[in-house]
């Protein structure tokens, strides 16, 4: 059977609102052509992010009623900690209110001016939090990632030879940690192979550098390994995920992705000394170590979500559904980052809109047009987000977990194909105002 069916039925529904393209034209103007500044009630299908937008299960909602809201020593924390330790094998489990809080604490403890932090590709908040400490964030994707059309099984991998050269030139003492983002979000939601994880671990061990996973989408990455990497066919996603984590000395994690939660994050480490410094900072700004900025009920939702996300029926559907969107637009001429990734499809806007130069933000212009045409919100991952660090001009269509049905996806396909037919008419944008960092969240544009 080829029909993709959602491996769940729907018990509670949330209406979404139709608007006209004339209305959306007004909303766009008011928002300075920045989709972050459009009210969610004016969006029909929201593919801005897969972060915190998950639909929770009956089991998660049930667990939330069990939330122990004790300030210290909450039973919900210990339940969550058991699940995380079983999955990651990591010794210290520090809850945070979301992924970037874990990043801020980690980098504040480990990084300073003169340091360099390599990653396959840093995500926006990761890069910004590293730079905020005065350290430098360096992306080391494999060469194949430069070609959006290359169909590589593990296009999210790090260039291990480049990592060795970087350690040589910077000195191991100036590299406080090496990170791998699984899956590689800024690089197209592409997976990282177990072989690459092991190779990075070998290099870091050789130089005495801690190795961290940015594990936001660990389950999707594990599924790809099971499907594509030799030697993993018979393993469960959980076994594969456990093996991925077994190489890591620590991890940051946003529970807003592969834990099916709406909020939450984790910082884990095997280093006792680092854990003490991190916990001290945690208490200062997030909260006591058994809640870290979260309610007990959030910890319960995370504990259940971390187990549900590894269910093969879910992961099979998840990756098939994303792939369906990708194939159906790509096979009709829309250039996407090939092959389709895990949580999102990325349109190569520079390729789709050759008339719009990079400095006129082709992916932002495409995001605006897709919203104007069909009420679909997506996000630019290109020069607006990363400035000179952008490798590509991508429009990301991120799919919230368990939220939209196959017919929603069909609507998105139809809308994109219609926009593609009129792509010659799309013009670029100019920035009117921008904040000093993470400008994509609040910059305002005008149409050219």
- C-alpha distances in angstroms, 426 versus 114, 166, 362, 383, 429? 43, 41, 9, 18, 10
Are the beta carbons of 98 and 264 closer than 8 angstroms?
yes
Nearest residue (CB) to ligand F0G, 179 versus 274: 179
Nearest residue (CB) to ligand F0G, 54 versus 181: 181
Least Å distance between CB 36 and ligand F0G? 11
Least Å distance between CB 266 and ligand F0G? 10
Nearest residue (CB) to ligand F0G, 188 versus 428: 188
> What are the φ/ψ torsions at residue 267 (nearest 5 degrees)?
-130, 120
Nearest residue (CB) to ligand F0G, 385 versus 419: 385
Least Å distance between CB 436 and ligand F0G? 19
Residue owning tokens 């936001």: 216
Q: Which residues of 220-238 are buried (b: 16+ CB within 10 A; e: fewer)?
A: bbbbbbbeebeebeebebb
DSSP per-residue letters across 55-89: PPPHHHHHHHHT----SSS-HHHHHHHHHHHHHH-
Nearest residue (CB) to ligand F0G, 76 versus 184: 184
What tokens does 46 get?
């929201």
Indicate the residue whose CB is closest to ligand F0G: 99
Nearest residue (CB) to ligand F0G, 252 versus 279: 252
Contacts of 149 by beta carbon, 8 Å cutoff, 6+ apart: 335, 338, 348
Least Å distance between CB 133 and ligand F0G? 16
What tokens does 267 get?
């910082």
Longest dimension (CA), the chain: 60
Least Å distance between CB 344 and ligand F0G? 8
- C-alpha distances in angstroms, 161 versus 29, 141, 203, 326? 47, 11, 10, 31
Least Å distance between CB 377 and ligand F0G? 12
Nearest residue (CB) to ligand F0G, 135 versus 356: 135
Contacts of 420 by beta carbon, 8 Å cutoff, 6+ apart: 329, 332, 333, 334, 352
Are the beta carbons of 155 and 142 closer than 8 angstroms?
yes
Nearest residue (CB) to ligand F0G, 21 versus 442: 442
Nearest residue (CB) to ligand F0G, 319 versus 426: 319
- C-alpha distances in angstroms, 371 versus 38, 42, 315, 348, 446? 10, 10, 29, 17, 16
Contacts of 13 by beta carbon, 8 Å cutoff, 6+ apart: none
Least Å distance between CB 381 and ligand F0G? 8
The footprint of ligand F0G (CB under 6 A) covers 49, 51, 98-100, 123, 125-126, 181, 185, 214, 216, 254, 256, 265, 398
């Amino acid at each position: 059977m080829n029909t993709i069916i959602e491996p769940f039925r729907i018990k509670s529904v949330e209406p979404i609102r139709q608007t006209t393209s004339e209305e959306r034209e007004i909303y766009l103007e008011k928002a300075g052509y920045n989709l972050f500044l459009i009210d969610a009630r004016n969006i029909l299908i929201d593919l801005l992010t897969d972060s915190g937008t998950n639909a929770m299960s009956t089991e998660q909602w049930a667990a939330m009623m069990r939330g122990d809201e004790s300030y210290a020593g909450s039973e919900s924390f210990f339940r969550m900690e058991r699940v995380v330790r079983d999955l990651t094998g990591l010794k210290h489990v520090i809850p945070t209110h979301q992924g970037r809080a874990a990043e801020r604490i980690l980098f504040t403890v480990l990084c300073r001016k003169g340091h360099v932090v390599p990653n396959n590709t840093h995500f926006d908040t990761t890069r910004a939090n590293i730079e905020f400490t005065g350290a430098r964030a360096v992306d080391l994707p494999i060469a194949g990632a430069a070609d959006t059309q290359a169909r590589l099984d593990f296009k999210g991998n790090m260039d291990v030879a480049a990592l060795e050269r970087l350690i040589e030139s910077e000195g191991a003492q100036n590299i406080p940690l090496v990170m791998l983002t699984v899956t590689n979000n800024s690089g197209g939601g592409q997976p990282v192979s177990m072989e690459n994880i092991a190779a990075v671990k070998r290099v870091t061990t050789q130089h005495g550098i801690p190795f961290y996973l940015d594990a936001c989408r660990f389950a999707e990455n594990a599924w790809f390994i099971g499907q594509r990497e030799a030697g993993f066919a018979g393993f469960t996603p959980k076994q594969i995920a456990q093996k991925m984590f077994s190489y890591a000395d620590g991890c940051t994690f946003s529970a807003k992705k592969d834990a099916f939660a709406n909020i939450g994050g984790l910082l884990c480490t095997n280093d006792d000394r680092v854990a003490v410094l991190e916990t001290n900072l945690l208490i200062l700004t997030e909260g006591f170590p058994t809640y870290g900025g979260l309610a007990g009920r959030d910890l319960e939702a995370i504990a259940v979500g971390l187990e549900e996300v590894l269910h093969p029926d879910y992961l099979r559907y998840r990756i098939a559904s994303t792939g369906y969107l990708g194939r159906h637009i790509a096979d009709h001429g829309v250039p996407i980052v090939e092959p389709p990734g895990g949580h999102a499809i990325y349109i190569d806007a520079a390729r789709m809109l050759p008339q719009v130069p990079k400095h006129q933000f082709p992916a932002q212009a495409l995001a605006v047009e897709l919203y104007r045409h069909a009420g679909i919100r997506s996000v630019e991952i290109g020069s607006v987000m990363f400035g000179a660090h952008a490798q590509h001009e991508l429009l990301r269509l991120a799919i919230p977990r368990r939220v939209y049905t196959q017919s929603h996806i069909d609507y998105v396909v139809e809308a994109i194909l219609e926009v593609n037919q009129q792509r010659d008419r799309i013009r670029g944008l100019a920035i009117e105002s921008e904040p000093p960092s993470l400008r994509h969240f609040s910059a305002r544009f005008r149409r050219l």
